[in-house]
Structure 1
Amino acid sequence: MCPVVPGGGYPRPVTTTAVRPLRADAARNRALIVDAARRLFAERGLDVTLHDVAEAAGVGVGTVYRRFPDKDALLAGLVTAKYETLVELAERAAARPSGREALREYLLGAMELRASDRSLSTAVMRAAPQTEQALALRARLSEVVGGVVERAHAEHALREGFTADDVPAVTSMIGSIADRTRGESPDAWRRYGLLIADAVCPPAGELPPLVGEPLPPPTSGTCAAPRP
């Protein structure tokens, strides 16, 4: 489950130092900046600039740079928050009575998170800067998801050969569909998310029908898009 950076190895931790409490206006600006960055990264991915963040937050770009000297510093805090959300999802799923239910809940939940957040895969699963806290959360996520996968295998509910390391890949695949269809059909990804979940860990009993409609073939030079 642990992500690697291109070329091997893991992202280097970003060290943090204690700082004095912020004044009320500085704290308010920081909250505006973080909220704007979270929204922009989720909508547009990691190509967002600090100038974009400043404009969305309604503050001067100098204010952003005083709080975050570069985009990596801003991303470090957001990555931690994303891990916290994933760990919370995994631990809630792990409390389900069976490994089958636990894995399906986590798979479909992680797909939904990725479908709504364009930056999730690139920030968490690639080379974004990560604090010691984020690295500890990543280790916890790997532990919990690995345990869920083991339970599902022990119940013979999971396709042979599927591992916890496959989870980020399948969520990223569904995210790609969500990114391409978000404007016209924001729920189109659910059909294919369910298809993958059923393929690797089918529900007990009869398979339910797929939701939604299949995407039409792409036209020349374009990506697949939902039917009008």
Structure 2
Amino acid sequence: MTIASTPTQDAERPLRKDAARNRELILETAAEVFAEQGLEAGYDEIARRAGIGVGTVYRRFPERSELVQALFETRIDEMVAIGEQAAAIPDAWEGLTWFFEKSVEKQVADRGLKEVMVQTLSESGQMTVGRERIGPIVESLMERAQADGALRQDVEVTDLGMQLMLIGSLSTPEQPELWRRYLTLLFDGLRARPDSTPLPLEAPPDEAMHMLMCNLQGRRA
């Protein structure tokens, strides 16, 4: 037997759709505002640009940490998509370097993205989430390049993860694309060569990444 919906149930459906639309609108607008002003930007500016009341922003994300977390998850999805595109590039070295170039390019263009990634990844629980989503993709790109003899064999995933975060901070108003200089130097250092200098220490373990991310933020773990 089919149960007819009640007026109350019918009224709830548009509200749920509106809530979902508002959430996406807030996230899109927050990403724009944070890209320009950083994570310290106020909810009032997000609400003004989104054309909604500031109360709506607070209802969806009562705590700023909740908004940052939602943006972090969105950014991880974007990084995964970039990684999948890189994996589809036939040349292994080109795929690896394209992934890093696009990733850093996105960081530099979006100030909020870098702050979101550094702040959220510095939390040990979120470090695990990010590593589980992105780690296998980066590892696959690296293994493919190493199998082709293009990438040196002693490089680890954590090496590239830290380089990605560091190079993403290397730009100035006068030289907004300064990071490309250092990314090129990094790529040259990653190339497999008979005369490559052996790396003096082992790469840091995954557990040490939490402390290193905290160091990037200038705070204690």
TM range (shorter): 0.5 to 0.7
Matched, 1:38 2:31: yes
Instruction: Give 1:172's aligned residue.
Output: 165
Say which SS state the counterpart of residue 177 (structure 1) adopts.
coil
Choose which of 120, 126, 143 in structure 2 pairs with 1:127. Answer: 120
Q: If the length of structure 1 is used for normalisation, what is the TM-score?
A: 0.65
Is 1:141 aligned to residue 134 of structure 2?
Answer: yes
Q: How does 1:19-58 map to 2 (within 5 A)?
A: 22=15, 26=19, 29-58=22-51
Report if the CA contact (8 A) 2:69-2:120 is conserved. no
Task: Report the AA paired with residue 187 of structure 2.
Answer: A
Q: Structure 2: 5+ residue runs without aligned partners?
A: 1-11, 193-221
Q: CA deviation at 1:37?
A: 0.4
**Within 5 Å, which residues of 2 pair with 1:148-159?**
148-159=141-152
Structure 1 counterpart of 2:168, one-letter code: G
For 2:61, the aligned partner's letter is: F
State the Cα distance separating 1:188 from its structure 2 match: 2.9
Q: 1:189 aligns with which of 179, 182, 187?
A: 179
* Residue identity opposite 1:175 in structure 2: G
Aligned residue type for 1:48: A
CA-based RMSD of the aligned residues comes to 3.2
Give percent identity, aligned residues only.
38
1:109 aligns to what?
102
Q: Flag the structure with more relative contact order, 1 or 2, with Cα contacts below 8 A and sequence separation at least 6.
A: 1
1:65 paired with 2:55, answer no
Gaps of 5+ in 1: 1-18, 203-228
After superposition, give the CA deviation of every residue in 1:58-99 in whole Å (9 maximum; x if it has no partner): 433212111211112222221121111111111111122233
Higher helix share: 2
Which amino acid in structure 2 is aligned with residue 43 of structure 1? Answer: E
How far apart in 1 are the matches of 2:79 and 2:135? Answer: 10
Which shifted more, 154-163 or 106-115? 154-163
Question: TM-score under structure 2 normalisation?
Answer: 0.67
Amino acid at match of 2:183: G
The alignment covers a number of residue pairs equal to 180
Change (3 A) 1:168 1:44: farther
